[in-house]
Amino acid sequence: MLEIRHLQMMSALKRHGSLADTADELNLSASAISHQLRELEHYYDITLVNRRTRPVSFTPAGLLILSLADSILPQVARTKADIKRLAHGQAGRLRLASECHSCFDWLMPILNTYRKSYSDVELDFATGFDPEPHQMLADGEIDLLITASDLPIDGINYLPLFTYESRLVLSPAHRLASQESISTNDLIDQTLIAYPVEASRLDIIAKFLAPSGISPASIRTTELTAMLIQLVASERGVAALPDWVAAEYERKGWVVSRRLGAGVYCQLYAAVRQDDESLDYMKGFLGLLQDIKKP
């Protein structure tokens, strides 16, 4: 029997101290307020308000209801506001994943900017190196994927971000460092240091080696870019990285990079479900991605 409207009525009555002023706030008549109060008292067979005092005062039972109102009504107001934000796409959860495991350096400033404008959106990262990130997006396990593969999947749209060159990274002392460019045959006897994903998803294999029917001698994996660079610098193998990542470590003198053949170029995309593109918080994030310049 105790309903939200009763809590609202009791709370307003405490603020105003009279039935008439309470009725004005709630857009009801004084008789309607009086009826609500009598209804509640009759149901519980107890007096809640001393009507003869000016302003009205509350019995212990009335004070108990007021304590409940003070606890519940703010939560109700917050929940209503949250529901409205969700309905207009201003709040929610944005789960990100990236096949570009060197992209976090330029993603982090974007995330920091985004949080300031969309504080009601919970940002989350899916664990990396999943074998089927596109399917995760289609199945709703993630909401946005940074990828270089625009696989044709119903209901998935791809927003082009920028083009990058995938370059071979190797030790300055490596025998291939003296060459201006690298041929596919140069890599037949090499160990490729790579992230732990399927070989077919690596740029150097999908766009350079596989079309010529060539594979490296072996593939060694690591999840960390810093470890990958250390392995390359110590001549444990070679790697292929986006040009902006290779340039960073070249400036430090740890490695050198060389062009793969005539150049291996890749397009980076932000993949998102069509149904989510109209959400306000998704449009906000995609807008920030569109404004980025190539690192």
Per-residue model confidence as pLDDT tens digits over 275-285: 988 888 898 89
Q: Give the CATH fold of the 164-265 domain.
A: D-Maltodextrin-Binding Protein; domain 2 (3.40.190)
Rg, Å, the chain Cα set: 31
pLDDT of amino acid 52: 83
Is-contact 192 219, C-beta < 8 A? yes
pLDDT tens readout for residues 179-237:
999 999 999 999 999 998 888 889 999 999 999 999 999 999 998 899 999 999 999 99
Q: Give the CATH fold of the 92-161+267-290 domain.
A: D-Maltodextrin-Binding Protein; domain 2 (3.40.190)
Cα dihedral sign, 274-279-281-287: positive
Burial 235-254 (b: 16+ CB within 10 A, else e): eebbbbbbbbbbebbbeeeb
More confident: 103 or 289:
289
pLDDT of amino acid 236: 96
From the number of C-beta atoms within 10 Å of its C-beta (0-12, 13-18, 19+), residue 101 rates as buried
DSSP letter for 175, please.
Answer: G
SS (H, E, C) 181-232: EECHHHHCCCEEEECCCCHHHCHHHHHHHHHHCCCCCEEEECCCHHHHHHHH
More confident: 257 or 115:
257
pLDDT confidence band for 121 (50 / 70 / 90): confident
Is-contact 197 130, C-beta < 8 A? no
Domain boundaries, the chain: 4-87, 92-161+267-290, 164-265
Ordered alpha helix ranges (H), the chain = 4-16, 19-26, 30-44, 60-87, 104-117, 133-138, 203-204, 225-233, 243-251, 280-290
**Residue 281 vs residues 78, 133, 137, 186: alpha-carbon distances, Å:** 19, 21, 17, 47
The label of the residue with tokens 């999840």 reads 223
What one-letter code names the amino acid at 141?
E
Residue 68: both structure tokens together = 């409940």
Q: Give the CATH fold of the 4-87 domain.
A: Arc Repressor Mutant, subunit A (1.10.10)
The yes-or-no answer to whether 92-161+267-290 and 164-265 have a common fold is yes
Residue 275: both structure tokens together = 């149904």
Is-contact 167 243, C-beta < 8 A? yes
Q: Count CA within 13 A, CB hemisphere, residue 198.
A: 7
Average pLDDT, the chain: 89
Q: Considering the entire predicted model, what is its pTM?
A: 0.65
- Using the predicted structure, report yes or no on whether residue 120 has a pLDDT greater than 70: yes
DSSP letter for 236, please.
Answer: S
pLDDT tens readout for residues 47-99:
999 888 889 999 999 999 999 999 998 888 877 766 665 555 555 788 998 88
pLDDT of amino acid 291: 81
3-state secondary structure of 237: coil
The number of residues in the chain equals: 295
DSSP letter for 48, please.
Answer: -
